[in-house]
Each structure stands twice: as C-alpha cells, then as structure tokens.
Amino acid sequence: MRYSEIMIRFGELSTKGKNKMRFINKLKKNIQDVLSIYPEVRVTADRDRAHVYLRGAQYEEVAESLKVIFGIQSFSPVYKVEKNVDALKAAVQEIMTGLYYDGMTFKISAKRSDHNFELDSRDLNFILGDAVYDVLPNIQAQMKQPDVNLQVEIRSEAAYISHETIKGAGGLPVGTAGKGMLMLSGGIDSPVAGYLALKRGVDIEAVHFASPPYTSPGALKKAEDLTRKLTRFGGNIQFIEVPFTEIQEEIKNKAPEAYLMTLTRRFMMRITDRIREERKGLVIINGESLGQVASQTMESMQAINAVTTTPVIRPVVTMDKLEIIDIAQAIDTFEISIQPFEDCCTIFAPDRPKTNPKIKNVEQYETRLDVEGLVERAVAGIMIREITPVEEAQDAVDQLIDDLL
Ligand code: ATP
Ligand code: MG
C-alpha cells in the first residue's frame, strides 16, 4: 500500500484567533511554493488541517521537504481506503503485517466523521482489532502508549488510516510577521541570519551588492544559491541585485583607506533602506556578529547604523562563530558559503580598517562624494528576480545555456 496524502497540523498559529485564516492561507501558499519541485502534488487547507495530496509523488521526498517548513507543528502520512468494512479490514491487516515485530503492542483509534457510516467508532475499534488478530495472533492490544496507534477516520468521501506522526519545524509561517530586507553577502553569517528571521515568520527579500567586474559571476551565483536554500523554509524569495561598482570605485578614489569599510557599509545601509521603503518592508536584517571583524565593533555598528532610523535586526549578533557555523551546517548553507568567490567587500577591504570610526570624520569624507546621486543610481539599477526552490530544473536550464554558448 502506498500513502496517498499527508495531513498537516498547524503550530503556534492555532492560537491566533481572528488572524487564523490569514495565517493558514499563508502557510498553504508557502507549502505550495516549497512543494513546487513535485509538480504532481496538490495542497488544500481548512481551519483545522492542511492536506497534501501526493498523486504519485514519493512520500519520503515530500516528507523531507515538509519537515523544514516553518509553521507546521507535525504531520502524518495517510492511506486512503475505500469506505467499506471489508476494504478497511484488508487495509489494517496489510499495514499491521508490514509494521509487525515480535512483542509489538497496538491499538485502533477509529473516528467516524461521517455519521451515516454503518459502524460507529466503538464497533470499528473491535472489528478492525479482530481483523488484526486474525493475521497476527501474537500481537498485544494496549490502550496506553501502544507501539502502534492505528488511527482510522471515516470521512464522507473515503476512509483514512495513519499511524505515524512526524515533528515539523515549528515557528511561524513565513510572511505572517511582515517583510524585512535581508542584506545577503556570500558569507556564512547572513544566510543564518535570514534563516532565523524566517523562523519568526518574517518574509525576507534578499539584497545583494555586486561589483562586477571586481566580483565574479560565481559570487553572484553563490548568493543566489544561498537564497534558494532559504526558500525551503517558507517558499519563494525575491532576490535583489544592486550594482555597487561605481560606489566602491568612488570611495576608493576619494576617501582614506582606513575608512573604506565604514563608508561602504553606510552606503549599503542607505541603499537597502531605500529599497525597503519602495518595497514596503518594515525592517533590515543583516549578519553582523559582535566583535567578529573590524566592521563589527560596537563603534562601527554605531557609525554604520547612523544613516537610518529603520530597525536593524541582527539575529546572530551575540553568537560566536562556531554557533553560527553549526546552524549553517544544519541548514545546508555552509558548503556554499565557503566556496572561494570573493565578494565586493573582500576585494576592496583595506589591510587595516578602522575599528573605532568617528562619525564626524565619516561625515567629513562623505562630503567629498555625491552621496545622494550615487544612492539613487544604485537603486535605479537594481535587478529583481524571484528565486524558487526548483533547483534541478533551474540547474538543467543553466547547464543547457552554458552548453549552447
Ligand atoms: P557574512 O558572513 O554574512 O558575509 P561577515 O562576517 O563576512 O558576514 P561582514 O563582511 O562584515 O561580515 O558583513 C556584515 C554584514 O553586512 C553581512 O552579514 C551582510 O548582512 C552585510 N553584507 C556584507 N556584504 C554584503 C553584500 N555584498 N551584499 C549584501 N550584504 C552584505
Ligand atoms: Mg562577508
């Protein structure tokens, strides 16, 4: 017998009263996005549950995808069975025979949602239990904590049997907490910051600064691949590429080396904030971690943050590197992050950046630059694409294009 569908239980959102349907619809859309890599699959949702209809897709693969989607409390694979007693008996016999091991205990928990069905739940428990004894005479029934609790539900269209509950990722469905702009480099920290924001329901858009020809297409692809990894937790993500070459060259030509980093970061912050405003985001998210590098002393953070009053969320700010790496490994971004493509900051990085930049000096150096014009041109040049979880398909297309050229 093969699983026909998966029943999904909601997490924290079930307590959210009035907003409940909004939460559920978001989660449904997120599940659809994530499962778009299995084109056969269909998703529905009502107030109590969501259902994934496999329609031929491999249960094990779909389950792997479901395990990491935020907002799912748990889920159970389900067998769909014809709604008559003989079919039900045969099904429980087949399922239990497949599961059986020496000393196993079990119980049947029948539930009759369709009250026109000929047997009530008590009768069903007995009759189906007996059917199991017929094929497994040595099995023991046990009401409290049996090894297998076979749940049988009679609904109007069919009967459903399940026995397994798999823990979901918890958290909140992505998109239920509003939108934030994730400053995404190709490094280890910012994807982890993005993941942690997703976990609390933030809908992220990835903002990536690229400085071709100083940065390579490889660095850009790396940022896109990291974004694609993040789509597994809540669906598609807008990827915003910002042309940053002009600004970096200007700063390099006109400001003292020790202040390159601070000035660069202030531009990134201004531009991200401008994009946020246009796209109706509420916060900025970055991967800053206290004390990790020169840009991340508290003095630096203050100088960089001074260009905006928008809340800047730093999910990894007090974590140490090893903690961050642990998460990066768990979410499968680490291997991509350590690919050796230089991003714009490494290339223009001074040997000895200022660890305690003075805002007064920073502002003085900025008078040498056309800050407003530079920001405006960068924002005008952004390129936006939607990143979806469909990896293989996209890679195949990329490969084809490479082969043709
Ligand atoms: P990460 O591992 O995320 O690159 P990092 O330890 O290298 O972080 P920095 O290089 O100082 O730290 O960058 C601090 C933060 O600034 C990053 O976490 C990211 O949020 C943002 N940032 C840096 N470079 C870029 C970029 N090219 N595009 C977008 N955001 C960037
Ligand atoms: Mg970096």
Q: Encode pLDDT of 327-337 as tens digits.
A: 999 999 999 99
The helix/strand/coil state of 355 is coil
Query: Is 314 assigned to a binding site?
Result: no
Q: How many residues does the chain have?
A: 405
Quote the pLDDT of residue 291: 82
Report whether residue 185 contacts ligand 1, using a CB cutoff of 6 Å. Answer: yes
- Burial code (b: 16+ CB inside 10 Å, e: under 16) for 163-201 equals beeeebbebbbbbbbebbbbbbbbbbbbbbbbbbbbbeb
Task: Quote the CA–CA distance of 335 and 229 in Å, as a whole number.
Answer: 11
Read off the amino acid at residue 265: R
Task: Quote the CA–CA distance of 292 and 281 in Å, as a whole number.
Answer: 28
Q: What is the DSSP string of 239-284?
A: EEEEE-HHHHHHHHHHS-GGGHHHHHHHHHHHHHHHHHHHTT--EE
Instruction: Compare 205 and 12 and report the one with higher pLDDT.
Output: 205
Q: Report the pLDDT averaged over residues 254-282.
A: 96
| Residue 288 CA to ligand 2 centre (angstroms) | 9
Q: Given a cut of 80, is residue 205 above it in pLDDT?
A: yes
Query: Is 2 assigned to a binding site?
Result: no
- Ligand 1 atom nearest the C-alpha of 182 is 20
* pLDDT tens string 312-325: 999 999 999 999 99
Q: Given a cut of 70, is residue 345 above it in pLDDT?
A: no
**Mean pLDDT lowest among 10-14, 106-110, 387-391:** 10-14
Quote the pLDDT of residue 34: 96
Mutate to test the pocket of ligand 1, among 181, 183, 268 (most ligand atoms within 8 A of CB): 183
Report whether residue 272 contacts ligand 1, using a CB cutoff of 6 Å. Answer: no
* pLDDT tens string 32-42: 999 999 999 99
Quote the pLDDT of residue 392: 57
Report whether residue 219 contacts ligand 1, using a CB cutoff of 6 Å. Answer: no
- Ligand 1 atom nearest the C-alpha of 295 is 11
Instruction: Report the interhelical angle of 298-305 vs 260-278 (nearest 10°).
Output: 50
Task: Quote the CA–CA distance of 131 and 249 in Å, as a whole number.
Answer: 78
Q: Which residue has the tokens 């918890």?
A: 170
The model carries a pTM of 0.89
Q: Given a cut of 60, is residue 14 above it in pLDDT?
A: no
- Least distant ligand from the CA of 223: 1
Q: Is the C-alpha dihedral spanning 52, 58, 60, 64 positive or negative?
A: negative
Q: Closest Cα to atom 12, ligand 1: which residue? A: 288
Distances (CA, A) of 106 to 1, 131, 254: 19, 13, 76
Query: Is 296 assigned to a binding site?
Result: yes
Quote the pLDDT of residue 1: 85
Distances (CA, A) of 111 to 81, 152, 153, 320: 14, 6, 5, 50
Who contacts 378 (Cβ-Cβ below 8 Å, separation ≥6)?
Answer: 242, 243, 244, 246, 247, 267, 271
Report whether residue 293 contacts ligand 1, using a CB cutoff of 6 Å. Answer: yes
User: How many other CB atoms are there within 10 angstroms of residue 2's CB atom?
Assistant: 10
- Ligand 1 atom nearest the C-alpha of 191 is 3
Quote the pLDDT of residue 396: 61
User: Considering only CA atoms, which of 156, 114, 108, 112 is closest in space to residue 132?
Assistant: 108
Who contacts 370 (Cβ-Cβ below 8 Å, separation ≥6)?
Answer: none
| Residue 304 CA to ligand 1 centre (angstroms) | 13
User: Considering only CA atoms, which of 273, 272, 275, 267 is closest in space to residue 295?
Assistant: 267
User: Considering only CA atoms, which of 284, 306, 288 is closest in space to residue 297?
Assistant: 288
Query: Is 11 assigned to a binding site?
Result: no
Task: Quote the CA–CA distance of 282 and 77 in Å, as a whole number.
Answer: 38
In the chain, helix, strand, coil percent, each to 5? 45, 20, 35
Quote the pLDDT of residue 350: 67
Q: Report the pLDDT averaged over residues 169-187.
A: 95
Output phi, psi for 225, to 5 deg: -65, -40
- Ligand 1 atom nearest the C-alpha of 285 is 20
Q: Given a cut of 90, is residue 207 above it in pLDDT?
A: yes
* Intra-chain end-to-end CA distance of the chain, in Å: 47
